[in-house]
Amino acid sequence: MPRCRAHCASPQAGERLGDLRIQRPRHDVASTRASRRGTSAMVSHGTDCQPSTRLCASRRLPGHRPYKTVEMSSAAKILLVDDDVLIHFMVEDIGRQMGHSITCAADGAAGLAALKDEHFDLVILDRRLPDTDGLLLAPEIQADARSSFIVLSSLSTPNDQLLGLGLGALDYVSKPVEPAVLKARIERHLATRRDTSAPAVLSISETFHLNLVTRRLAVAGRTECLSPAENRLLAHFMKNVEIPQSRSDISKAIGGREWVYGDRTGDVLVSRLRRRISGSTLQIITVHGLGYSLTEGSGA
C-alpha cells in the first residue's frame, strides 16, 4: 500500500509563509466549512496512515511534515496544492496510473513546506486555498530551475488565466475537470520536460545565450531570469530563427497542446519576451497572417 503522511491545517490569515505575505481569499462560508471538513478527513486511505493533525505553522512538531506523499517507483515527482479532497483522490489515482510520486498539500503553508523540503518536476496549484492564493507560491516554485507549474482552479475568467500564465504557469486548467483531461495535461507537460541529451545552452551570437537548465538568458550584457514558459518559447524561437511561428506552433512549444480560439497565452509570452531581449540585435516581429518570428533587427 502507498504510504501517506499526515498534514496539518492552514495558518491564520495574514501569517507569513516564508517570505510570502498571505491573505485569506474570500470564500463562501458554507463551501469553506465543507472544505475544512474534507481536509480533516483526508488522510484515510491505507492501513498505515496516521490521523490528520491540526497544527498551526508555529506549533509544528520537530520533523513534522504538513503534507502527505503517495510514494511509488516514479518517473516524476508531482506536488498538488489543493484543499479539495476529491481532487487529491483524483490526482493520486492519476499518479498511480502513470507511475509517478504524488505529494498532496491542503493549503499554502503545507505547499511551501513541501517545496522547501524537496524538488518537484511539476506542481499543480489551486488558487482558492484556505490561507492564500496559490499563485503566491509561484516564486518558490520558480526558484528551482527544474520545476514548473500548472494552475487548476475554478477562477477561470480570461483575466484570471492571463494572471496565472503571466506569472509563469505552463497551463491554466479550469475546474471542474474530467480525470482523463487532467491526466492528458499532466502527461503532456511531463513529456515536454528538458531532454537530458539536448544541449544545455543555446546560442545565436556571442552576446545572446540561453541556458535551458537555469533558465538564464545572457543578452546585451545583462542576465534575464525567465519563467519556465518563457524559457520554452524562447528556446523554440531560437531553434527556428527567421521561421514564422503560428499560435498553434507556439501553443505546442509552451505546453504541447493545440491552440484554441481565444487563447492569448502565446501573445502574452511573446510580449514578455520582447521586453526580455530588448537592447539586442534580435527581435520578435509580427508576420501578418502567419504569426511571430525571431529575426535580426536594429536593436533598441
The residue-averaged pLDDT of 165-173 equals: 90
Kindly state whether residues 173 and 267 are assigned to the same domain.
Answer: no
pLDDT of residue 9: 40
pLDDT of residue 41: 35
* Residue that the C-alpha cell 531560437 belongs to: 238
Neighbours of 120 (CB within 10 A): 23
Is 10 part of a structural domain of the chain? no
Last residue of a domain, one of 191, 211, 229: 191
Question: In a 3-state reduction of DSSP, which class is residue 197?
Answer: coil
Is 7 part of a structural domain of the chain? no
pLDDT of residue 25: 45
Cell of 202: 543555446
Kindly state whether residues 219 and 278 are assigned to the same domain.
Answer: yes
Question: In angstroms, rounded to a whole number, what is the distance separating the alpha carbons of residues 108 and 116?
Answer: 12
Q: Which of 242, 244, 82, 55 is nearest to 150 (CA)?
A: 82
Is 93 part of a structural domain of the chain? yes
State the pLDDT confidence band at 204, using cuts at 50, 70 and 90. Answer: confident
Is 226 part of a structural domain of the chain? yes
CATH code, 90: 3.40.50.2300
CATH code, 263: 1.10.10.10
The residue-averaged pLDDT of 176-188 equals: 92
Kindly state whether residues 240 and 92 are assigned to the same domain.
Answer: no
Is 79 part of a structural domain of the chain? yes
Residue type, 105: A
Range of the domain at 170: 16-191
Number of structural domains, the chain?
2
Q: Which tens digit of pLDDT belongs to each residue from 41-90?
A: 333 333 333 333 232 333 333 444 555 555 544 478 999 999 999 999 99
- What is the pTM assigned to this prediction? 0.52
Q: Which tens digit of pLDDT belongs to each residue from 138-157?
A: 989 988 877 899 999 999 99
Kindly state whether residues 267 and 288 are assigned to the same domain.
Answer: yes
Kindly state whether residues 284 and 209 are assigned to the same domain.
Answer: yes
CB 100 within 8 A of CB 76: yes
Question: In angstroms, rounded to a whole number, what is the distance separating the alpha carbons of residues 108 and 137?
Answer: 7
Kindly state whether residues 236 and 108 are assigned to the same domain.
Answer: no
Last residue of a domain, one of 160, 191, 222: 191
